[in-house]
Amino acid sequence: MKIVIVDDESPIRRMLRIALKSEGYDVIEAENGEAGLAAIARQQPELVILDLGLPDMDGHAVLNELRTWSKVPVIVLSVRSADKEKVLALDAGAQDYVTKPFSIEEFLARVRANVRDHIKTGSPAILDDGHLHIDLGKRWVTLAGEKIDLTPKEYAVLAKLALSPNCVITQTQLLNEIWGPQHREDSHYLRIVVSHLRQKLGDSPAEPFYIRTEAGVGYRLQLQTDD
């Protein structure tokens, strides 16, 4: 599981990286808000650890921007201990608030709880229509029993569509969450990835079955039925 740390203090990032990696997490670091948002959009982590005192933008602004395009759990980690700071962060969508200095053992327990609760309340991890099998927990995709090798971007698009099967996901939402807010107008990125996905899923370019285009809106993942 991936965790993005957004903190400008390298000793804090190093301590968290060592502790989290010892628990088996894949850790990505960012030293400011812009880099953090880009890393979250690119990596699609299971959890974000966010400092409030960042050099380029306040952590509250980062959280507010993040919540316009992602529901990823966020643990705020800050020296700010005032109740108003905690209330502001929690009301803006943070799942937890930890004040520095902190106990690393307690912090890791909070990480485990947030990751566990996020998975528990999420969409079903496995989709299977008898032909296409998608295991979101294991990042495993097979077609007629044969494993399909996907690039990170191809998997990210397919996984996003699979979280809401048979529902339309807009181009803007896909671009925001997978490429980042700065690429929300770069629809050609998405078209190329969808084209490659269709090839790998055996979809006809003219009349695709699995990945349907909703003209001017976005895409949806259509699953096989018994009809």
- Which tokens hold the place of 185? 């107008």
53: Cβ contacts below 8 Å, ≥ 6 apart: 8, 59, 78, 79, 80
Kindly report the backbone phi and psi dihedral angles of residue 45, in degrees, each rounded to the nearest multiple of 5, phi listed first.
-75, 170
Buried b (16+ CB within 10 A) or exposed e, 87-107: ebbeebebbbbbeeeeeeeeb
Q: How many CA atoms, within 13 angstroms, populate the side-chain half-sphere of residue 37?
A: 22
Tell me how many degrees the CA angle 120-190-63 measures, rounded to the nearest 5: 50
Q: Nearest Cα to 51, choosing from 31, 21, 66, 25?
A: 31
pLDDT of the chain, 227 residues: tens digit per residue: 899 999 999 999 999 999 999 888 899 999 999 999 988 888 888 899 999 999 999 999 999 988 888 888 999 999 999 989 999 999 988 999 999 888 999 899 889 888 876 655 444 568 888 889 988 777 789 998 899 998 888 988 998 888 878 777 888 888 887 887 778 788 899 999 999 999 999 888 888 889 998 877 888 898 765 44
CB 173 within 8 A of CB 218: yes
What is the rounded CA–CA span in Å between residue 172 and residue 184? 5
Q: How many CA atoms, within 13 angstroms, populate the side-chain half-sphere of residue 126?
A: 7
Residue type, 154: E
Indicate the helix (H) or strand (E) that contains 116.
Answer: helix 104-121
What is the rounded CA–CA span in Å between residue 169 and residue 218? 6
Q: Nearest Cα to 75, choosing from 100, 54, 50?
A: 50
Q: Nearest Cα to 50, choosing from 98, 106, 85, 119?
A: 98
**Model confidence, pTM:** 0.56
What is the rounded CA–CA span in Å between residue 130 and residue 142? 10
Domains and CATH numbers, the chain: 2-121 (3.40.50.2300), 126-221 (1.10.10.10)
